Structure 1
Amino acid sequence: MTTALPKDSWLRALRPQPARVTAAEYEALSEEIARSIEIVDGYIVFCEAPTPDHQTAGRRLANLLERHAQNAVKSGRYGCLTVNNDVDLRLRDIPLLNRRPDVILSRCLDRDRGERPRAEHALLVIEIVSPGSETQDTTDKLGEYARAGIPHYWITRLDNDGVTTIERYALDHASMLYKHLGTLMKDEAGGPPAITNPIPVTITWDDLTF
């Protein structure tokens, strides 16, 4: 005796499923192709081209962070640090999980050993929320970056004049979930907010204004 499957089950069975991309296959892609995609659980996710405001905000955030990273290194309390935009970051090998954070603060890579950015190098990743990325940035990536062990995550939002808020999260190592540390807001009273982790940074909002 056979049991009839629901119509949608037959459709799923007949519809070809996309093949998962392996780490080796991804690494064989050209940089041009890799820059336009992310890989989530082995499946290709196409990235929309960032708007000019999004690009400007990413550059301003990276410049601000880099200035403080250089001061942190000069203090002698930190090792070599680097800040980059739109970097291919490996979170997991199987199934493959690659993201491209808008900004990343990380430990310097050993180029002689051919190291590529991985979760264990990252100290902080920053995502800039766009109209189409709300769920990804505030839910999907929030969980992915935490499970990968990245210590700090910032979610930033824009208006027509630049960066307006920065939501700060720190990893709770016991649960491997992020704890919300607070939200910095451009229109708050008082001077520029200063934070100490993952490195000392003073958020000068004028530097983040278009």
Structure 2
Amino acid sequence: MTALPDESWLLTIRPQPARVTGEEYDALPEEIARAIEIVDGYVVYCAAPTPDHQTAARRLANLLERHAKAAMGAGHECLTVNTDVDLRLRDLPLLNRRPDIALYRCLDRERGERLRAENTLLVVEIVSPGSETQDTTDKLGEYAKAGIPHYWIVRLDRTGVSIIERYRLDRAAMLYKHIGTFMKDESEFGEAPRVTNPIPMVIDWAELAF
């Protein structure tokens, strides 16, 4: 059995007639915008996340939000954490991603301020079947070029979040430098991993279990 359809399917393929502009994207209904990303003006369809993916994103976002509130209580500027958030990386040609989780400076809701790279401190992508190249290569380059200071790549096993790869932006090269990987198996009998940037955090694996 082949994974590809017969040649008649190829005849139905049509190129996108023109690149999507920022104005056109902004005019899309939310249910459509949530199902796509725009890369260099071209539509990229996003597969629906699995239940495990959704659970991991929610629990990791809750952990980040708890530490963000603690950081604000200690004097940090206003911070927001969101999942599946609309992030504008570039206007021309349009580059619009929807990262699994983003930690960013609070936006002016009354003015309808859009989330952009300059507001964003950390982006997290959870690797799913079929997203390996996008998460580890494409988005790694895009988020770095846009100037987002921190990027985490998260991997799952059957029990929850198992690996967190951390990258920090080298502003001289505008590339990410790998600064460490947290592995659940290596932490079972030791202290919970801690980070200081972009905000102080303790990675409690129990919070990230299914």
Normalised TM-score (structure 1): 0.91
- Cα drift, residue 16 of structure 1: 5.1
3-state SS, counterpart of residue 25 of structure 2: helix
Q: Which residue of 1 aligns with 2:7?
A: none
- Cα drift, residue 18 of structure 1: 3.1
Residues 162, 209 of structure 1: 8 Å contact kept: yes
In 2: Cα distance, 1:60 partner to 1:26 partner: 29
- Cα drift, residue 92 of structure 1: 0.2
Q: Which has the larger radius of gyration?
A: 1
Q: Which residue of 1 aligns with 2:199?
A: 199
> Alignment length, in residue pairs?
195
- Cα drift, residue 104 of structure 1: 0.4
Q: Which residue of 2 aligns with 1:101?
A: 99
Provide Cα deviations, 1:31-82, integer angstroms capped at 9, x if missing partner: 1100000000000000000000000000010000000000000001x10000
Q: Which residue of 2 aligns with 1:19?
A: 18
1:145 and 2:143 equivalent? yes
Alignment gaps of 5+ in structure 1? 1-14
Q: Which residue of 2 aligns with 1:64?
A: 63
- Cα drift, residue 17 of structure 1: 5.0
In 1: Cα distance, 2:77 partner to 2:136 partner: 30
Question: Aligned match of 2:178 in 172, 177, 180?
Answer: 180
In 2: Cα distance, 1:173 partner to 1:74 partner: 29
Q: Which residue of 1 aligns with 2:54?
A: 55
3-state SS, counterpart of residue 117 of structure 1: coil
Alignment gaps of 5+ in structure 2? 1-13
In 2: Cα distance, 1:181 partner to 1:21 partner: 36
Residues 165, 182 of structure 2: 8 Å contact kept: yes
Question: Aligned match of 2:121 in 120, 123, 126?
Answer: 123
Superposition RMSD in Å: 0.9
Give aligned-pair identity as a percent.
75
In 1: Cα distance, 2:64 partner to 2:15 partner: 45
Normalised TM-score (structure 2): 0.91
3-state SS, counterpart of residue 161 of structure 2: strand
